[in-house]
Amino acid sequence: MSEPALVPIPMEDLVSLCKRRGFIFPASEIYGGINGFWDYGPLGIELKNNIRDAWWNDMVRCPPIGPDGEPLSIVGLDSSIIQNPRVWEASGHVAGFNDPMVDCRESRARYRYDHLYVLQHKTKSELPLFAFLEGDPDYVAKKLKKQGRGAKLEEFDTLALADVDDSLRPRVIGPDAKEPGTLTEPRQFNLMFKTYVGAIQDEDSAAFLRPETAQGIFLNYKNVLDTSRVKIPFGIAQIGKAFRNEVTPRNYIFRSREFEQMEMEWFCAPEDARKWYEFWCNARKEWWKSIGLTEGNLKMRSHDQDELAHYAKEGAGTFDIEYRFPFTAPGYGELEGVAHRGNFDLTQHQTHSKTKLEYFEPETKARFVPHVIEPAAGLSRGVLAILSEAFTPDSDRPSGVYMKFHPRIAPIKAAIFPLVKKDGMPETAQKLYMDLRKKFPTQFDVKQTIGKRYARMDEAGTPFCFAIDDVTMKDQTVTVRHRDTPRVDVPERISLDKVARYVTDHIS
Ligand code: GAP
C-alpha cells in the first residue's frame, strides 16, 4: 500500500461513511444514544471479525517464528467476564485503576483531570482561562470569538490544568460552563463497572465487569500448564470484551466504555524477559503493517516512568505502538501496549489465593515465578485505525471516496454484477455467485446502473468486482474490476471458472 497523504482525513467524513454504509452505529440510537457505547453494523462486524480472526490465526494457530528459528508456542483461552472480586484486589485494580476527575458544578459535566488544558493569554492577564479537552483548541478560539475578543491562538500559552497556579483556578472557565470557578478539585474515580451476583444486592455480592482480559489468563496459567504440554517460554492468548467506566469517552470508538481487547501473556524465564520484550515490540508492529497500516502512520513510544501502569512498574517498562489517528494527527494515539509486567501478576495471585504459581524446570530443577511480556491490543481501536487508513478520497469516482482495505480483512471480498438484466447474464452471474458465496463473503447485485453498483462496493471496500457482459455469453470470460485501479482502458478478463481461484490467491 502507498504511504498516506499528509493531510489527515476529516473525522466527520469517516464517521458519516461508517454510518451510511453500516459499519458503526451509536448504541441505543433511537433512544438518543448512550455515551461511550457503539454498535457494529453488517459491514462493521465483518471487518472486526476479520481483524480478530487474523490476530487469532497469527498468534495462536500459526504464531511467529522465534529468534531460534522454531515456531513459538501459544494457546488460546476464553475466560469469564465476571470473576471472584478478590481477583481485582490482587491485580491492583481496586486500589490503583483510577483516573483523576473533576466535576463542573455549573454544567454537571465530568472530565478527566489529565485531559483538561487551558489557554492563558500571554499578556492580557485580565482574560479568563478557558479550559478545553485535549485535542480541541478550536473550541476555545470559537468561544473567545463569540465574545468579540477576536482571539488568535498564537497569543496564548497552552498549559495543563494541573499546572495552573492555585491562585488562578477561580478564573478557569470549564469547557461547558459560562461562569468561572465551577470546576471542582480532582478526585480519584475507579474505572471498574460494579454489579451484583445473585438475588441480594449488598457489598458481599458485589462483583466487577473485567477491565482487561489479561487477568483471566493469569487465573488460568496453572490450569493451562497442568493440562497442555506447554513449556516455558509459551503464551496464552485471549480476545474478548473489557469494560471501563471512562470519565470522558470520546473520539468515536477510540475511547469507549465497552470495547474489545486482543491480549497475549508470554511467560518466560526472568533472564530472557528483556530479549522477548524486544521481540514482541517488533513482531506486533510488523503484524499491524501486515494487515494494512502503513509504516509512516505507526510509531513506537516508550512510556515515561510517571505514566507506567501499576503492574509495569515491576518490569522493565511499556512500549506503545501508536497510530496517527485523524483526530491525533499530526500526533499519534495508543493502539497497542507491549508491557514488561515482570512477575507482578502471578506473584500477587500466588499471595492472595495462597496457590503456588511457580514453574518447575525439569532439566535444571529450578523453580521460579515466570516473568511476563504482554502485547495488549485494542480490537476496537484496531478497527478505527484500519478504517482511518482505508479511507481514501478520490474525486474522480462517483462515490468520491473508497475504502482501501487490505484484501485479507475487507468485509466483502468479491461482487458479481450482470451488466444488464437480460440475455442470460443474470443467470450466468447467479451461477457464479452460488459458487463463490460458499468460499468467501460475496455480493450479487443486479439493480441500478453498473456505475452505482461499483460506487457502493468502493465505499464498502470490496477489492474485486466481476462483471458478466455480452462477451461472457460468447467466450465464458468476465471482466475484473480492481477497487484501487479501476480505470484501465483494456479491462482484465479472466475465465469464469478461474474466478474463485483468482480471489482466493489475492486475499490470502
Ligand atoms: N492488560 C493491559 C491493558 O489492558 P491497556 O493499555 O489499558 O493495557 C490495552 O489496554 C489496549 O486496549 C489499549 O492499547 C487500547 O488499544 C485498548 N483500550 C484501552 N482502553 C480502551 C477504551 N476505553 N476504549 C477502547 N479501547 C481501549
Spacing, Cα 261 to ligand 1 middle (Å): 7
Q: Which three cell numbers stand for residue 246?
A: 471512562
Would you give the distance in Å from CA 129 to the centre of its chain?
34
Q: Cell 511467560 maps to which residue?
A: 267
pLDDT at position 192:
96
Name the pTM for this structure.
0.89
- C-alpha dist (Å) from residue 302 to 1, 146, 315, 328: 27, 41, 13, 18
Residue to mutate, 40, 303, 334, 344, ligand 1, most ligand atoms under 8 Å from C-beta: 334
pLDDT at position 183:
95
Q: Which ligand 1 atom lies nearest to the CA of residue 246?
A: 23
Residue to mutate, 77, 253, 261, ligand 1, most ligand atoms under 8 Å from C-beta: 261
In what helix (H) or strand (E) does residue 370 lie, and over which residues does it extend?
none
What single string gives the DSSP state of each residue in 93-115?
HHHH-EEEEEEBTTT--EEEGGG
CB 191 within 8 A of CB 245: yes
Q: Name the nearest CA neighbour of 377 among 111, 8, 48.
A: 48
Q: Name the nearest CA neighbour of 273 among 340, 215, 338, 225.
A: 340
Neighbour-count burial of 166, counting CB atoms closer than 10 A to its CB (0-12 exposed, 13-18 middle, 19+ buried) = exposed
Spacing, Cα 134 to ligand 1 middle (Å): 19
Spacing, Cα 377 to ligand 1 middle (Å): 7
Atom 18, ligand 1: residue with shortest CA distance = 378
Spacing, Cα 362 to ligand 1 middle (Å): 37
Q: Which ligand 1 atom lies nearest to the CA of residue 335?
A: 16
| Rg, C-alpha atoms of the chain | 27
In what helix (H) or strand (E) does residue 183 lie, and over which residues does it extend?
none
Q: Which ligand 1 atom lies nearest to the CA of residue 382?
A: 16
Q: Could you list the mean pLDDT of each consecutive 10-residue stretch along the chain, which spans 508 residues?
A: 59 96 98 97 98 98 96 98 97 91 91 90 85 74 64 81 91 91 92 96 95 98 95 97 93 96 97 95 97 96 73 70 94 95 96 97 93 98 98 93 97 97 94 97 94 95 96 96 85 94 92
Q: What residues does ligand 1 touch, defined as CB less than 6 Å away? A: 212, 214, 244, 246, 255-256, 259, 261, 263, 334-337, 374, 376-378, 380-381
- C-alpha dist (Å) from residue 316 to 342, 359, 382: 7, 21, 25
pLDDT at position 1:
43
